[in-house]
A = this chain, B = another copy of it.
Amino acid sequence: MRGLMMDYPLTVGKIIQRANRVFADKEVVSILPSGRKHRYTNADLYRRTVRLMNVLRRLGVKPGERVGTFMWNHHRHLELYFAIPSMGAVTHTLNIRLFPDQLAYIVNHAADAVIFVDASLLPALEAVAPQLKTVRQFVVVTEDGTEDNTEDGTEDGTGDGTEDSTEDGMPPEATLPETTLPETTLPETTLSPIAGFEALMADADETEDFPELDEFSACGMCYTSGTTGHPKGVVYSHRGIYIHTLMAGMTDMLGFGERETVLPVVPMFHANAWSVPFLAAMVGAKTVYAGQNVSPEALVPLIREEGVTFTLGVPTIWNAVLQYLRKEGGGLGELRTMIVGGSSAPPAMIRAYREEYGIEFIHAWGMTETSPLGTVNRLKKKMDHWTPEHRMAALTRVGIPAPIVELRIVDDQGQEVPPDGASPGELLVRGPAVASAYYNNPDSAVQFTEDGWFRTGDVATRDENAIVQITDRTKDLIKSGGEWISSVEMENAIMACEGVLEAAVVARPDLKYDERPVAFVVPAPGGKGVDPARIIESLSGQFAKWQLPAPEDIRQIDQIPKTSVGKFDKKVLRARLEG
């Protein structure tokens, strides 16, 4: 017997239509690449999304085609987030920090037809342009344009988008469908054919045309950089994104609503910016996009000025903000919630934000392959009665599975490990917003089990309260003398030592023990530097003797190299050991 409910496809276009209809006056604030502040409403966002859909059509973009974005976080990137999938094409967010050969690989592999690029990022794209085989149009995004609602009033608002350029224009060379593109002056660039975003927008049709789309069709792509081989492409469906957005809005998940002002300090080129653009539009939250400067000097005043109540980002960002606050004084205004993912924050940081600044500091875990939200760690009701130490131990974990995520933690034989908070195993997940395969990548089939689970590559435990802890990446475990050492646990223990700012632990090949841990340690500013003996002493309470690094394996460095998404780049550290 079939249900008699409407056949109503769950698509991204519905989300932006709702934002316009129900939350027309809510604001979107952006810091533009130049540092100027831009401000408009959902109604403006919607109008420009509609125009941009027609721009894409005019550029000959067909349903299912990939459109790349090579951009910072700001409102024009947001317009592309909605316009591309709403007209049936596929947003391919390009990581602006990829190495050139990886960037060229993913553009070619996804077969991007058009790429939108921030003017400030032109050099990085120009460097790989000769290798790009499928791009038939580049669109450069400058800050001039049709709107003049930037706050400092310096932006020119005359509307033809030509005044700010000091160089000769690069008229488009390709023959485009129906009409040629408007001529305009643009920043000097070797990209070709090139058009200007605002010139295209000024000329665009305003007809609202949201085609009916299959909810299983693709709406976005994001490549995840593997440790070996080429980056692998995740293809999001409209259905997956829509369901993930509903889930992300649930109270114990991200759970922000109309009353919040949300600042995602996560790049829009990474894993749907943790779903913030979609959820904010669906629930009517005011949003703030920080542009390219995410230093504490830029973030802290922005949080205070815009009344940000809710933010998301990696621990590195919040560590820097904390150091800044300690030095400069003052607090974070109305900020009350900080969702932290990407890697684990040390207890000292959690405690500082919670106890000194009154901010609910919440760990979450996710991956590009999980859209990305996998787990969130809000305190459970019964923890109100726990001791502060017990509660803090719980807070260092990554939380319970999201409602649309099923997870299993399995040993080498594929059996579930006991929920004792100690037995580690590989974390497998499944759900309607979890990848079923990588795009055109048969070699990666090994990451998907035959009975429909995705192998995350993370090592995890699960306790009697169903709370998950990520103890390591399978590849980052250190195998020493036949036993395992968790690099993440050792990093956290070292980072808890006085005088330590950051620490990363990797394996060094060893003839006798196979592998031994090496700790790269960044001393806290103003301290006396790293003291290996003291670190080893403080680790000895938590690690067995055979697990402890040798004194010469505790190495002071100025900073930990980070990946394009802000995680410790252990590949680089391992290379240093070899070099």
Contact = CB atoms under 8 A, between A and B. Distances in A.
Interface of A: 1-8, 10, 14, 18, 21-25, 64-66, 90, 216-219, 234-240, 243, 246-247, 249-252, 255-259, 282-284, 286, 371, 378, 380-382, 400-401, 403-404, 406, 430-439, 452, 454, 466
A400 B217 contact: no
Contacts of A246: 243, 246-247, 250, 403-404
Contact of A251 (B5, B14, B257, B433): B257
B251 A256 contact: yes
Contacts of A219: 3
B259 A435 contact: no
Contact of A238 (B3, B257, B282, B430): B3
A130 B18 CA distance: 51
Contacts of A252: 257-259, 283-284
Nearest to A283: B252
Contact of A243 (B243, B406, B452, B454): B243
Given A5-B237, A8-B432, 5 more contacts: A3-B218, A4-B234, A5-B436, A249-B251, A258-B378
A1 B466 CA distance: 37
Given A282-B403, A466-B22, A5 B240 contact: yes
A216 B6 contact: no
Contacts of A22: 400-401, 466
B6 A434 contact: yes
Contacts of A5: 235-237, 239-240, 371, 432-436
| Total copies of the chain | 2
Given A243-B243, A246-B403, A4 B257 contact: no
Contacts of A251: 249-251, 255-257, 283
A240 B21 contact: no
A390 B434 CA distance: 45
Contacts of A284: 252, 380
A67 to B, nearest CB: 12
A1 B283 contact: no
Contacts of A65: 1
A218 B1 contact: yes
Contact of A466 (B23, B238, B256): B23
A525 to B, nearest CB: 39
A247 B250 CA distance: 8
B403 A217 contact: no
Contact of A216 (B2, B240, B452): B2
B1 A90 contact: yes
A2 B247 CA distance: 22
6 contacts: A4-B435, A5-B371, A6-B452, A6-B454, A255-B255, A257-B378
Nearest to A247: B246
A1 B217 contact: yes
A110 to B, nearest CB: 10
A426 to B, nearest CB: 18
Nearest to A257: B251
A432 to B, nearest CB: 4
A452 B212 CA distance: 13
In this complex, the member of A1, A382, A400, A433 whose beta carbon has the largest number of chain B beta carbons within 10 angstroms is: A1
Contacts of A6: 430-432, 434-436, 452, 454
A1 B435 CA distance: 15
A545 to B, nearest CB: 37
A216 B284 CA distance: 30
Contacts of A217: 1-3
Contact of A2 (B23, B237, B249, B404): B237
Contacts of A10: 243, 432
A4 B437 contact: yes
A463 to B, nearest CB: 12
Contacts of A7: 436
Contacts of A454: 6
A498 to B, nearest CB: 35
Contacts of A247: 246
Nearest to A65: B1
A579 to B, nearest CB: 38
Nearest to A235: B4
A112 to B, nearest CB: 12
Nearest to A246: B246
A492 B452 CA distance: 56
A64 B3 CA distance: 10
The 6 lowest CB-CB distance pairs between A and B, nearest first, are A3-B237, A251-B257, A1-B64, A5-B240, A249-B250, A4-B235
Contacts of A258: 252, 378, 380-381
A243 B3 CA distance: 14
Contacts of A3: 216-219, 235-240
In this complex, the member of A25, A238, A401, A403 whose beta carbon has the largest number of chain B beta carbons within 10 angstroms is: A403
A467 B2 CA distance: 34
A237 B252 CA distance: 26
A249 B403 contact: yes
A519 to B, nearest CB: 35
Given A250-B246, A258-B252, A4 B438 contact: yes
A409 to B, nearest CB: 12
Nearest to A371: B5
A118 to B, nearest CB: 26
A375 to B, nearest CB: 10
A8 B431 contact: yes
